[in-house]
Structure 1
Amino acid sequence: MDFDLPESVCDLLRKKQFVLDNLPRLEAVVSRYRELMDSLDPDVRILMKEAICKLETCLLPGTVSYNFSYIKLDSFLAQCNKSLDFFQGLLSQVRDVESLLDEEIEQINQVDLFDLQEESPKEDSLPGDENSPKSFEADEEQSATESTSPKKESPTKDPDKDQPTTKTESEEKLSPLQREDPPNSLSEGRPKTCSPTKESAPQTGTASEMTSSSDNAAAASTQVTPTVVEFVRKIEHRRNVAMETILYLVERMTPALKKIETLVYETNSGSSSEMVCYYERYELRLHASFVSLICCNLDRFTSLLLNSETPLFQVETVLQGNAPSVQPCVESIGLLLKQNMVHLMNGFKLIPRWIAGSCNRVPRLEVEHSIEKYIQSSFYEDLYNIPDIKRRLVVINQTVTRVCAALYKHIVTWNRYSELWLYNKEQVLNQNSNDTLYDYEDKMNYFSEIESELRLRLNDKCWVPVYCVRVNLFTLGTQIISLATEWKETIATNLIRTTRIKLTEYRDKLEAIDKGLEPLVIDVETFKNALQVIQDVNSMVLDTDLLQYDIINRNNALKKHSVQDLKCELNELTSSWQKTYSAANVKYLRILPYRDIFAKVSQQAVNQFLEKINDFLDRFYSEGPYSIPDDLVLGASFMVNYSTEFDTLNMEKTEKLLSEELFDLPVSDYKPYEEAYRVHQKLELIYSVYNKMQDQMIRWGQTLWCNLDARVLQLGVDEEVQTVKQWPHDIRSLAHCESLEQHLMGFKKSVDLFVKLKHEAMRERHWLELMNKTGTQFPMSPEVFTLSQLFDMNLSHFEHQCLEIISAAIKELNIENAIQDIVTTWTRDMILPTVVHVTVNCSIKNDVDSDDEDQTSSSSDVWKPLVDKSEEEEEHAYQLGDITPMLVIP
């Protein structure tokens, strides 16, 4: 419109356009600030609150009213972008250190505390030995120097990138736990064993994936399975290396946190109050990492104990003592595996805790008078009391117990061969020395089956898996095979020995037959002997055939089990038998013509023997023990002679029967003699009990009367009575048996009288009276008075008289006791029992009835042995009556 505007308005329009042109730059600064603030978590906000305050101080002028000074706007925007660049660079460095700390914690999670790989982990110095970077402390000093330099505008540049240093010789010799200055760059100083590379580290830390990786490693291992001691030592050795790695990683966290402190606050104390939240954050993450690490490793090891495809370790099985066992024993295996868990938890005693509000380790405390010189505050106490870890430790202990129980159960199954080592070979064979060939062959087959079964088993597979344990059966199987072979050879040796004993007995018999065929026949006896030998040879034909068949079978059994054969013994038996059999046939042909002559002589001898038997039977029934059933004493003396005669007649009878058989004579009738012999045998049974009872009475009779034990006598006689009652009726019906029963019952009654005669009332006068009744005399001295003297009295025949004497003695004892009471009263007390009269002032004598009773007793027959003593006491009473009146005046 071509209006002329004032200069001030035109200037304002120009500035407005300038502001509008720079408005996107302002919006970019605000947007960049918001993005940075939104990316901060609460802990980083607290950590970088001073940096945030500086940044906001720089941005604060943009919130006030604008004065339209475009020169100041350019300056303001440049200053804001510079502050934002510095804050972003500082935040980037902090996050780089955080990522490295997170990476270290992740590496701790991936540590294998049960490393079962074939090759042991590298135990040389940790990476960074060749070109070790500077320490965090040096890096922090360099950062502090650069913060004051003019190049502070670019804090993102790493000032140490081009400053590598080399390690000294003394530094190379230090272990990871002894190094004071960890590497500067966390990525360059990372341990090789825990590096999260594709080649060595697992991709995740879950228990299932760790299990699969360990199984693959175990499958790739060699076939040489370590022993349980080697297995535990290897795991503990590798775990020590792993714990050194963990300790190294934990110690690297302190310089990293100090570097953050240097970047943010330009200090290097490690105990900044503004970073307390950071210290607690990473200590808690470290604690959680340890919990996860222990739980994953324990779960994996528990799975390996029960479900491992390849055995973890092997044990040897041996026959030790009298039982199969493993080496080491099952208890030691369980103890070693459980101690391995203790070793795992004790490893965390090396990981120190941080001082509260700091990232510096707690210093060790020196302790006096203790096994451990120093006490270190570690993560062990907190980790051990976590319920998840405790529960897993209990599960592992239960799993170990389960594995040991299964191992013991497998070993116990070998006890089915226990008879091989529990029994003594010689003792068993001596007890079964009379076994048949079938028994021997059955035993050898049994041990051969054991031997072949075990050989086949060992050739196929000489070990068996029991969960994670490889049980090597070679030694035990070899020992049992050796025992089975020894048993088989011992049985075969015993079979050969018994066979040779049979052959020796048979050879001796043939030699006896050969000797019996040598004498010439000159009379009846020599003819009978020769004929008997020939008959024995004929009867041996079947036995010889059976013996040859038995030896052939024994030889076949021995050859079946590859043992020494009996071919030579069999040939010797055959030749000896043929020789003896031929000689017997020749002898028979030579004596055959004289047979009829000697047959007539033998018949005459048989007739004479029958007459002798008839005379003996007449004498046996009329004069022998059979004729005196009531007198057992005399019958016992006769039995000795008649038993001898019966034995002699039995021998002659056998000889005559043999003669009749040899000469084909008619068989004689010996029935009367056999009937008499059966009666004699019954009498022998009866008199054997009688003689046994007499022997017992002689033994009991040596006992003194004062040492009488009626129970022993009663038991002895009751035993014999019970024996007699068990005899059959044909024996008990004999009169001799009735006499024996009367004798036993009489002795039993005598024992009852012995008990009554032990009464204290019996005096010497009573025993004298008893001797007069029974007609016996013996001394009454206790040193010589024995039971044999009582046995001679036969008290059972004088039972009534004995009981009368005992009854009278008991009554006399009562009278003696009454007289003794009177004597005691007059000699000791000398006081008359009196009572006070009720009407007269005097006393009268009491207990007049007792005096009357004594006078009444003196008139009885029982009093007669005590007359003298009674008269003496009456005289004393009369004197007392003369001196002391019945009425006593006070």
Structure 2
Amino acid sequence: MLRDQRKAELDRMEKRHIIKKTEELSSGLIQLSLRKNEMSICESVSFPETKTRPYKESTVICIVEEVHTSPLFEVRLELTESDTEFRPTIGIGSEFYNLIDTLMNDIYKLVGLVPRLAKHVTRKKYQIDLEEMSDLSEMREEIMSQVITTMKQAEDYEESFDSFSYLWVDDRNEFLEEFLIYGRVLTQEEIESYGEGGVPPTPPTLEQFKNQIDSYEKLYEEVLKFELVKILDSWFKIDCRPFRQALLNLIKRWSLLFKQYLIDHVTDSLSTLEAFIKETNAELTKTVKEGDLKALIQVMGYLKKVKERQVTTDHMFEPLKQTIELLKTYDVEMPEEVHTQLHDLPEQWNNTKKISVICKHAVTPLQANEVNVIRRKCLRFEINQHGFRQKFKVKAPFKFDNPNPYKALDKAQKKIVAMEVELQALSQSAALFEVSVPDCKQLKACRKEIVLLKGLWDMAILVSLTIEDWKTTKWKNISVENMDADCKKFVKDLRRMDKEIRAWDAYSGLDNLIKNTMASLKAVSELQNPAIRERHWQQLMQATKVNFVMSDETTLADLLSLQLHNFEDEVRNIVDKSVKESGMEKVLGQLDNIWSTMEFEHEIHSRTGIMLLKGSDELVETLEDNQVQLQNLITSKYIAYFLKEVSSWQQRLSTADSVISIWFEVQRTWVHLESIFIGSEDIRTQLPEDSKRFEAIDIDFKVCRFHSLNIKIVILYLEQAIF
């Protein structure tokens, strides 16, 4: 008894020793692991050993008990280029989850380092004992459940910032481009409501720029108020400072995007105007001599530019001043050079306008002379384009039988391009000197038609090459279905082309080529019927008056040479005839099979033992049915080829019918008389002459039966009986 008490006391001491060592090692391992993963442990955890403190309570870390006010773990909320994320990552299977799970596993493994006190226990390590303790397992599950719950709260907190996602998801440059066109971001409903025409552009006003920038400034102030740290369940800390700072920087980039555009707009507008004024003044102050057309055109060009931008430039200075004032409200100061330009350029622009007026008066006489020259050129061009139009109608490849359409198209294209270049130069000169250019309908019509002709002939060549490729296909390999599908596609593509080309011979020729090919392919498909025989090909050659040898080497080209599209009815009749004849051939074959195997049934005469023929319903029905079939065949209009054979069968079966009827009549009579004249002695005595005469008949009958006894086939039996 004393020994047992001593053993129990030793076990209790060992258990307390295990708990103490486990708690000490666990606390140290947690701190080391957190340092290794760059995570903060705000306060270490101690587990005092007391006898009154339950085992479960003494081992619960602060994650569950929340005995400390400072958080134990910390993660950082960061903003990447595409989304927000935690460092380390959270969620089941994440870095943080694996860290906690590893800590739990390491706590169990630590006891393997503790020496065992009891020598009588077979297990050398305490780890298995701890793993079997249900209290510890429940505590571990409770801890991991709390971790999962807290991570879910952290994810929900992260999702609360999704309303700002457009700041890092949208492309800033694309957003600005759309804003500059429409003055706002278009909704899907707006885009759909305008349909194919598209939303009309409405460039933004300065007020819209201000509203856009103010929205970012307001958002910036809102983000500044975000909390720097978020504590969840008192033990889990989220450091929001990286995310907050990144978001503030991003908002500033959006705001700067619009500010920078306004800055560039001001500087570019003033710099461009300054350069234009300098260049224009230099050119307009030059003296233009009479006959110097190049100088005159150059001066007229600058006069036109001044006129074109006069309205815009006259009203640009005040909006630029307003833009500069707006930028000042955002603490954006423009360089001194900009202010100088804004002060000096209005006066310089007015001076340029005065110079342009003076220059225009100076070149007016020269301008009048050049106007007359341009008008004469316009008249000459008008005459030339009408002449070219007439030649184009004659020489352009509008006919389908044109041997070299692309050569004609190239020649016409070069002439059209030359005339278009001439027209462009003439139009530029006319615009400078304010001369109206005649409407070049003839040249435009040629340009339109040559484009249509090019497309039409491209299709014509494609169709022709495709058909030529098909023509090399061997007869047995012709796939009419695929070829017909391609032809239908050609027809569909042809119908999609401009309706104007339908009046051209080239269109009609191509359309007929495709249609004729489809008709011929249909005829070829019919001729692929297995019922077609050599005699039918001969009939087809007679109908088309074209001779060819039908063999395995026959190609589609040989069949198309028959012009089958012109003989659709003949082909159809020949195919119909072949099908009907095939049916007749099948019937005749069946007759041959039936009667080559049809046998008589026999029975033994009871008194004489002679084998007699036995009447068969099958034989009678077959004979009658076959005679009806032959009668139907003989009335067909396609009987010509099989007339001789059908007539022969008709005669044979008719004869067979007669012979069978006569034979069975003779056989019945013999059976009746044999019992009288042979089987009855009284009758033989009373009628000796008749009996003697019947004996001769009896011998003849038995001889006939003897000779035909081994012939079982009906038709052979009857032929033997006849002869």
Q: If the TM-score is normalised by the length of the shorter chain, which range does it land in? A: 0.5 to 0.7
Aligned with residue 121 of structure 2, among 365, 380, 393: 365
Flag the 1:226–1:857 CA change in 2: closer, same or farther, 3 A.
closer
3-state SS of 1:401 partner? helix
1:436 aligns with 2:208: no
**1:528–1:659: 8 Å Cα contact kept in structure 2?**
no
2:301 alignment counterpart: 533
1-side partners of 2:351 and 2:143: how far apart? 83
2:147 maps to 400
After TM superposition, list the pairs within 5 Å mapping 1:98-117 onto structure 2.
none
2:368 to 581, 596, 608: 596
Give the structure 2 partner of residue 804 of structure 1.
573
Contact 2:267–2:338 (CA under 8 A) maintained in structure 1:
no
Aligned residue type for 2:228? C
User: Could you tell me the TM-score, scaled by structure 2's length?
Assistant: 0.55
Name the structure 2 match of 1:886.
Answer: 719
* 1:315 has 2:75 as partner: yes
CA distance in 2, matches of 1:692, 1:734: 17
Please give the alpha-carbon distance, in whole angstroms, between the structure 1 residues aligned to 2:345 and 2:107: 81
Q: 1:234 aligns with which of 20, 31, 44?
A: 44
User: What's 1:545 paired with?
Assistant: 313
Deviation track 1:608-665 (CA, whole Å, cap 9, x = no partner) reads 44444555666778x5889x8xx65569959947777666666666666666655556
Distance in 2 between the 1:657 and 1:755 partners?
61
Residue in structure 2 matched with residue 463 of structure 1 by the alignment: 229
- Spell out the pairing of 1:69-148 with structure 2 (5 A cutoff): none
- Looking at CA atoms only, which structure, 1 or 2, has the larger radius of gyration? 1
Residue 535 and residue 352 in structure 1: after superposition, are their counterparts in 2 closer, same or farther (change >3 A)?
closer
Per the alignment, residue 555 of structure 2 pairs with 785
1:304 and 2:66 are equivalent in the alignment: yes
Relative to structure 1, the CA distance from residue 329 to residue 882 in structure 2 (aligned partners, 3 Å threshold; closer, same or farther) is closer
SS of equivalent residue, structure 1 residue 234: coil
Amino acid at match of 1:760: P
CA contact (8 A) 1:657 1:667 kept: yes
- What's the secondary structure of 2:600's corresponding residue? strand
The whole-number CA distance in structure 1 between the counterparts of 2:236 and 2:302 is 75
Kindly report which structure 2 residues correspond to 1:196-235, keeping only aligned pairs within 5 A, or say none. 231=41, 234-235=44-45
Q: What CA deviation, in whole Å up to 9, does each residue of 1:263-308 have, x standing for no partner? A: xxxxxxxxxxxxxxxxxxxxxxx6xx454x6459869864628xx7
Evaluate the alpha carbon distance shift between residue 492 and residue 747 of structure 1 in structure 2; reply closer, same or farther with a 3 A threshold.
farther
Q: How far does residue 327 in structure 1 lie from its aligned partner after superposition? A: 3.4
Confirm or deny that 1:841 pairs with 2:612.
yes
Q: Structure 2 CA distance, aligned partners of 1:393 and 1:801?
A: 94
Structure 1 residues 765-776: aligned runs within 5 Å: 770=540
Is the contact between residue 338 and residue 400 of structure 1 (CA under 8 Å) also seen in structure 2? no
CA separation of 1:479 and 1:727: change in aligned 2, threshold 3 A:
same
Structural RMSD (CA) = 7.2
> 1:469 Cα deviation (Å)?
1.9
Q: Which amino acid aligns with 1:234?
A: S
Residue type at the aligned position of 1:472: D
Q: Residue deviations 1:413-437, cap 9 Å, x none?
A: 45556567668x7xx8589878739
Unaligned runs of 5+ in 2: 1-15, 29-33, 185-203, 606-610, 651-712
Matches within 5 A, 1:528-677: 529-530=297-298, 533-534=301-302, 536-542=304-310, 545=313, 591-613=363-385, 640=409, 673=442, 677=445
Once the two structures are superposed, residues 776-831 of structure 1 have per-residue CA deviations (whole angstroms, 9 ceiling, x without a partner) of 78886766825x67667664443222322332343454566678789x97xxx996
Q: CA deviation at 1:405?
A: 0.9
* Equivalent pair of 2:285/2:359 in contact (CA under 8 Å): yes
How many residue pairs get matched? 583
Go from structure 1 to structure 2 and tell me whether the alpha carbon gap of 1:697 and 1:228 turns closer, same or farther (over 3 Å shift): same
1:761 to 531, 536, 540: 531
CA distance in 2, matches of 1:782, 1:500: 83
Helix, strand or coil for the counterpart of 2:531?
Answer: coil
Q: How does 1:22-41 map to 2 (within 5 A)?
A: none
1:743-786 Cα offsets, whole Å, 9 max, x none, are 76655545543432332334566567656756778886766825
Q: Residues 393, 725 of structure 1: CA spacing in aligned structure 2 closer, same or farther, 3 A cutoff?
A: same
AA matched with 1:456: L
The alpha-carbon deviation at position 324 of structure 1 amounts to 3.4
User: Equivalents in 2 of 1:831, 1:731: separation in Å?
Assistant: 71
- Check whether the contact 1:763–1:809 (CA below 8 A) recurs between aligned residues: yes
CA distance in 2, matches of 1:449, 1:415: 19
3-state SS, counterpart of residue 44 of structure 2: helix
Which whole-Å CA distance do the structure 2 matches of 1:785 and 1:805 have between them? 20
- Tell me which residue corresponds to 1:23: none
Residue aligned with 1:366, SS: coil
Residue pairs, 1:137-536, within 5 angstroms = 231=41, 234-235=44-45, 238-239=46-47, 242=48, 245-246=49-50, 289-291=52-54, 294=56, 302=64, 304=66, 310-319=70-79, 323-330=83-90, 331-334=94-97, 364-367=120-123, 373-374=124-125, 385=134, 396-414=143-161, 429=173, 436=180, 445=213, 452=220, 456-457=224-225, 461-467=227-233, 468-479=235-246, 526=294, 529-530=297-298, 533-534=301-302, 536=304
The answer for unaligned runs of 5 or more in structure 1 is: 1-106, 122-223, 247-285, 354-360, 368-372, 875-879
TM-score normalised by structure 1 residue count: 0.46
Query: Structure 1, residues 861-885: CA drift from partner, whole Å, max 9, x if none?
Result: 86778999999999xxxxx999987
**Cα distance in 2 between the residues matched to 1:341 and 1:516:** 89
Conservation of the 8 A alpha-carbon contact between 2:290 and 2:366: no
Question: Counterpart of 1:317 in 2: which secondary structure?
Answer: strand
How many angstroms does 1:605 deviate by? 3.7
Change (3 A) 1:739 1:455: same
CA distance in 2, matches of 1:793, 1:760: 20
Please say if residues 520 and 564 of structure 2, whose CA atoms lie closer than 8 Å, have aligned partners that are also in contact: yes
Q: Deviations over 1:293-331 (max 9, x none)?
A: 6459869864628xx754344223345795533333324
The whole-number CA distance in structure 1 between the counterparts of 2:522 and 2:482 is 12
Which amino acid in the other structure matches residue 75 of structure 2?
Answer: V
Question: Residue 77 of structure 2 aligns to a residue in which SS?
Answer: strand
CA deviation map 1:838-867 (0-9, x unaligned): 898369999889799899979988677899
CA 1:232–1:862 in 2, change beyond 3 Å: closer, same or farther? Answer: farther
Cα distance between partner residues in 2 of 1:512 and 1:778: 84
> For 2:215 and 2:336, how far apart are their aligned partners in 1?
21
| Percent identity of equivalent pairs | 13
Offset from partner CA, 1:129-171 (integer Å, 9 cap, x none): xxxxxxxxxxxxxxxxxxxxxxxxxxxxxxxxxxxxxxxxxxx
Change (3 A) 1:663 1:421: closer
Cα gap change, 1:837/1:853 in structure 2, threshold over 3 Å: closer, same or farther? farther
Preserved contact between residue 42 and residue 70 of structure 2 (Cα < 8 Å): no
Q: Secondary structure at the match of 2:66?
A: helix
Contact residue 277 and residue 352 of structure 2 kept, 8 A: no
Provide the C-alpha distance between the structure 2 equivalents of 1:835 and 1:516, rounded to a whole number of angstroms: 127
**Counterparts of 1:755 and 1:513, CA distance in 2:** 82
TM-superposed CA distance for 1:365, in Å, is: 0.5
Q: CA deviation at 1:403?
A: 1.4
